[in-house]
Amino acid sequence: MAETVIKIEHLRVEYPSESEKKVAVKDLSLEVKQGEVFGFLGPNGAGKTTTINVLLGYVKPTAGKAIIFGVDVQEPIARHRIGYLPELTYYYKFLTAEELLRFYAKLFQIPKEIAEERIDKVLKLVELENAKSRLIKTYSKGMQQRVGLAQAIINDPDLLILDEPTSGLDPIGKMKVRQIIHKLKSEGKTVFFSSHELGEVETVSDRVAILNEGEIKEEGNVRDLLNKYKCGLEEIFLKVIGYEDLPVIG
């Protein structure tokens, strides 16, 4: 039986706001097994990013718990086997791509020789090997996003968490994300990603969960869901979040 990589139990996250507490996630429970590509879907404000923030230890849950590889997500050791690609490009622009990757490799305590090999390998994979010695601030937006991809896989992660991985990516970047997801899947690794691009999700995911207003409204194998609803993932998504009967404009 496949190992449980992500286990979320009765997760609740509240944010204090001026008038009242805002509940971002309500009693969310889910499990992701090793080797699965898991699509985490939902409209804006559904609680996807908050859940990812909990998984990465940025946000402490109000109630419930999240466990990765059997370790509570608040423990830094839980992040040893994780790669994370944020939605936006958040990297030190005063460093070169090579220096940035070397810095992250050091945080993962990858031995120097192995780190150098891996840096060359990932830079080649994201097609940045010719620009590796240039400062990141001189890169185009697409190139900066590919640096993000490179840093997400520098530690050869067993679990890759992607937050809107294709949002705003150039075609090369999108292709690379797909390639990386397929490659990791073929190696038996786990991918957990949030996305709005449902066509993309339908092609690459094994299982999906559809989240709305902080709760999972539907969860299951992609094929099973397609058979159950007899329509595409986009229509399933709209039905599940309550948009099936919207009048056609025009």
Partner 1 sequence: MGVKLNNISALAGVSMREMYRRKDFYVVLILTVILTLAMGSINFFNEPSVAGYIKEICLLLIWIFALVIAITASARQIPSEIENGTIFPLLAKPVTRTEVLVGKALGCWIATGVALFIFYVIFALLAASREHSLDFSLNVQSFLAHWIMLGIVISMAFLGSVIFAAPSSNTTICLVVVVAIMVLGRHLNRLSLNMSEPMRTIVQVIYFSIPHIELFDFRNLLVHNYPAVAWNKFFLLLIYGVGYSLIFTLIACLVFNRKRLR
For residue 70, what are the β-bridge partners?
none
Q: How far is the CB of 86 from partner 1 (least distance, A)?
A: 5
Minimal distance, residue 90 CB to partner 1, in Å:
4
Nearer to partner 1, 155 or 212 (CB): 155
Instruction: Give 82 or 97: the residue with its C-beta nearer to partner 1.
Output: 82
Amino acid at site 189 = K
- Which of 151, 195 has the CB closer to partner 1? 151
Provide the minimum distance between the beta carbon of 78 and partner 1 in the complex, in angstroms, as a whole number. Answer: 8
Q: How far is the CB of 35 from partner 1 (least distance, A)?
A: 22
Per DSSP, the three-state class of 110 is coil
Which residues partner with 9 through β-bridges? 65
Closer by beta carbon to partner 1, 2 or else 107: 107
The least CB distance from residue 218 to partner 1, in Å, is 26
Of 112 and 124, nearer to partner 1 (C-beta) is 112
> Are 240 and 216 within 8 A, CB to CB?
no
CB atoms inside a 10 Å sphere around CB 206: 17
Report the C-alpha gap between 32 and 50 in whole angstroms: 17
Residue 242 CB, shortest distance to partner 1, in Å, is 27
The 8-class DSSP code of residue 244 comes to T
Number of Cβ atoms within 10 Å of the Cβ of 78:
20
Q: Which H or E element spans position 183?
A: helix 171-186
Interface with partner 1 (CB under 8 A): 53, 56-59, 75-77, 79-80, 82, 84, 86, 88, 90-92, 94-95, 99, 103-104, 106-109, 148, 151, 161
Find out whether 160 and 131 touch, Cβ atoms under 8 Å. no
Q: What is the DSSP letter of 186?
A: H
Q: How far apart are CA 28 and CA 64, in angstroms?
A: 8
Toward partner 1, which CB reaches closer, 79 or 218?
79
